[in-house]
Structure 1
């Protein structure tokens, strides 16, 4: 064969083989893309070896990363990130609120948990509270009243965490937030929308709300620069003088005077006596994973109860978003939430059956109530809270320390009551007391109210595996369970598990209601709008009341530790402004 003909044949063959290779590659890539797209993944995970921060404001995440890169550890970074979040996302958190955290300490090879929630005023009796409410013609504690304000616990939580595990000076940890408070920061899109709504609601509050949190009486638009020099000064005082300036010094005295002037009941004594509590987590196993929650006066116990019930079923065989798997998850939620409504409260005031609630034996009893039809009438097995304002953040460092921290004002920006010169709004967590004297969560002086905010931590084979939080009022236990089931049962990665379509079940009995109340109508299931209509019809055929759209489906952050590769893998809520960042 002539040389020219051979060259031509070789060229044609090469092109043909290349085309075949490309087609095969594209089919593989397309199949991979389709697999991910099936679960609505928005972006890849973040992978880093030396440290990671994930939260719902990009600049706050970068503040935490800056602290890590300066030599701080995960505890320092968590405090720094929380301080930045209180400044930059006051619609969800701030130092007028409470805090819970679970952390893995690499050096001691131990898991630690802190309950940094505040207590009701010592000087306000149940009888006086009821008289106040009667005069106001209210049947429950209103979130717009100073009656809903309990002692802010977040600052004491910071200093407890720092004293035990911190490495950098507190002044250095708070310095980035002081800088942003004085020089300004741009407001991102989702936060700007919530800020404008809160500003319209809270503009008439007594105190310094307008001067502190608005631009000429309105909330900021996306991209506008906000400043809060009063909060910057408060942070500076905390860095210089420590926690006592807040609980025994200048700030406590300002708050006492403000409360006396405007009819509130918190006093200097309440701040002086406040202490956080180091506690043992509550935990259960789920398919070989050890899942930890705070328990006590928050709703983390519901996560453990739901997982215990679900462990009796092969969800992976049923498949992600199958009507059968969804039915079981919804039913488990109904059962757990009736116990939530009756028992989750301050253990200092009651002998509460937490060990029974999270036992495998009790889960088996509750599981036996589930059939192929939706439960309508559900009570506790042992004789709401909608879209609250909360932030979750998680950090990890090069030594292996990991922090799962959640912090909140409760409703958006809290009460909107701002003591002039302090730069923060008080929480309205006291709204979540019951007024039924027979209820464990009934209001009492010096008592911690029920909380919705829950940090999660998962261990595997005795090692830290995953930190997670899904802020959002009553949705939080449902969010934790959906993320964990997506990862453990359905094999999704961190970001994929977050981006998958979510469901929300509402109208279960609340911890604020009377002891004898229970779920009577089965409640309502909501799905994000991308749900397959065939799934909705299948659930309706089982007896569920289902609506598409509406509701609030939470905000997720999480960091997974891959011990084999020596890296962290992070995911961040695509429905919000934040991000996971690492180095």
Structure 2
């Protein structure tokens, strides 16, 4: 067990309290957009919709209109929570016979499924599932928003027209998928120089480059003027379907017309004086609830590890093995919003893999998901590949209500998400930590065979973990995220605050600007 990492470098983020609203997301510019919506009189839902579309522009490899997700909403005046699922579905015309197994032990991406010929369930248009993000934002807007749909899409449209800057971090993420990006010339034209190298400005800061998101800008403009149904019934949908089918996929207009985002009663449970509200169904919400059922009050790190291991085992036995591994980067966006009235929203949206299916809908400028990879390609399993079925998701947007106020939390990072949400929630409830303390407390992940522990954990804790689990000790770094990438907001005694993953160079919490 390696523990001799340097302790001379420290990274931290400061949490500031405010009476105004706060948006905490994986990209500061998206947080700024949401915070400005709050300053202009919007509520938490308004800010969430604007933030969601902006994230699809500034980190398009993580999420966007071509993907799906879920959100949990807290309405302060009603004292009620809502769960909204806008996850992806497999197309109705999908033919399982088109995904023959090769006999290899595992696929090449996030899931250790048996390998499919040509990775057809992972890369390319054959991996594209029916996207739900736009329908989800439409459903939230119709029920709760106070501002016009077009106004909320305007900031994302403006940023797409300008083109987000390509910097060292975007280049790093692009490099991680450059070989697969290069297989789609339309996608490569946006993100790669000469079809090979990631776009980036000079290392001294000179020669800045911007990504060409003009196609996305045009789509957002039409979506703003013609409404969300154009994505599922109009020209946007028709163009997207033609692109996907032209590249070998089976997505159809019938799939889009039939798609709906749905509200559900949240999965709610108590932990002491805290009332949790999380996603029900085929998400990580039930696993979070199971974790707290198994965790004794005031549990320490080894106790949390035992509870999470048992909860994961129960998930595998009862919900189907989703099988994500630790060695692939997170490929999702999470953000949390709170307004000055105490309304909260926790949103997780995703393309699944980083850059999704590595397929661009060239007519719309949208990166398309690879939701088909969520299914086990081997027949006869609880989560086997089938047509017209919802995808099993690992997302875990969660809102907790406390006597002092409450918090909204979630993360990106695949199967590592629920472990991050569980530990942060435990620190904030059982541990009595502040939001800043909780985010700076070193975490572990136990979603795979090996427990991955932060090297900053006390040596006596590491020694105890080694007695029960195979342990890999890793440092806190900006890439990869060994323990997911969380974002949270909190309300305490009428004041709001937010925090994001400490090691993420882009993530930040932004307060509502003063009038």
Interval of TM-score (by shorter of Structure 1 and Structure 2)? 0.7 to 0.9
| Structure 1 residue 73 displacement after superposition | 1.5
- Whole-Å separation in 2 of the counterparts to 1:140 and 1:491: 46
Task: Tell me: CA distance 1:110–1:270, structure 2 relative to 1, closer, same or farther (3 Å).
Answer: same
Q: Does 1:561 align with 2:496?
A: no
Instruction: State how many pairs are aligned.
Output: 477
Give the secondary structure class of the aligned counterpart of 2:307. helix
CA distance in 2, matches of 1:335, 1:140: 32
* Shift in Å, 1:407: 0.5
Q: What CA RMSD, in Å, does the superposition of the two structures yield over aligned residues? A: 2.5
8 Å contact from structure 1 (residues 65, 77) kept in 2: yes
* CA distance in 2: counterparts of 1:260 and 1:309, whole angstroms: 47
Matched, 1:581 2:510: yes
Q: Distance in 1 between matches of 2:200 and 2:459?
A: 36
Partners of 1:175 and 1:139 in 2: how far apart?
40
Residue correspondence of structure 1 range 532-551 to structure 2 within 5 A = 532-540=458-466, 542-549=467-474
Question: TM-score, length-normalised on structure 2?
Answer: 0.87
Aligned to 1:267: 252
Q: Distance in 1 between matches of 2:465 and 2:75?
A: 44
Question: Map of 1:138-153 to 2, 5 A cutoff?
Answer: 138=117, 142-153=121-132
Q: Distance in 2 between matches of 1:389 and 1:449?
A: 16
State how 1:121-200 maps to structure 2 within 5 Å.
121-126=91-96, 128-131=97-100, 138=117, 142-187=121-166, 189-200=168-179
**What corresponds to 1:14 in structure 2?**
none
The structural deviation recorded for 1:295 is: 2.3
Which stretches in structure 2 are left out of the alignment for 5+ residues? 1-6, 105-114, 202-207, 476-480
2:224 alignment counterpart: 239
8 Å contact 2:101–2:377 — kept in the other structure?
no
2:220 and 2:397 map into 1 onto residues whose CA distance is 24
Matched, 1:526 2:452: yes
Conserved in 1, the CA contact under 8 Å of 2:45 and 2:145? yes
- In the alignment, which residue of structure 1 is the partner of 2:263? 278
SS at match of 1:393: strand
Q: Indicate the residue corresponding to 1:489 in structure 2.
A: 430
Higher helix content, 1 or 2: 1
- 1:99 pairs with 2:69: yes
State the Cα distance separating 1:54 from its structure 2 match: 0.7
Report SS of the residue matched to 1:178: helix
Q: Distance in 2 between matches of 1:260 and 1:43?
A: 45
| 1:418 counterpart SS class | strand
In structure 1, the gaps of 5 or more residues are 1-36, 316-324, 346-378, 508-522
Q: How big is each residue's C-alpha offset from its partner over 1:359-402, in whole Å with a ceiling of 9 and x where there is no partner?
A: xxxxxxxxxxxxxxxxxxxx9xxxx2443301111112223321
CA contact (8 A) 2:57 2:164 kept: no
Picking from 325, 334, 344, the partner of 1:392 is: 334
Residue of structure 1 equivalent to 2:3: none
1:341 aligned partner: 316
Q: Does the Cα contact within 8 Å between 2:11 and 2:503 map onto a contact in 1?
A: no
Question: How many Å apart are 1:455 and its aligned residue?
Answer: 0.6
TM-score, scaled to structure 1: 0.77
**How is 1:192-271 mapped onto 2 (pairs within 5 angstroms)?**
192-205=171-184, 208-217=186-195, 218-221=197-200, 224-271=209-256
Which deviations, in whole Å up to 9, do the C-alpha atoms of 1:401-444 show, x marking residues without a partner? 21111101111110111121211111112211123444332222
Q: Matches of residues 244-393 of structure 1 in structure 2 within 5 Å?
A: 244-310=229-295, 312-315=296-299, 325-344=300-319, 384-386=324-326, 387-393=329-335
Contact 2:233 2:253 in 1 (8 A): yes
CA offsets 1:330-385 (integer angstroms, 9 cap, x no match): 2222211122223337xxxxxxxxxxxxxxxxxxxxxxxxxxxxxxxxx9xxxx24
Post-superposition CA distance 1:307-329 (Å, at most 9, x none): 1100x3442xxxxxxxxx22222
The answer as to 2:457 corresponding to 1:500 is no
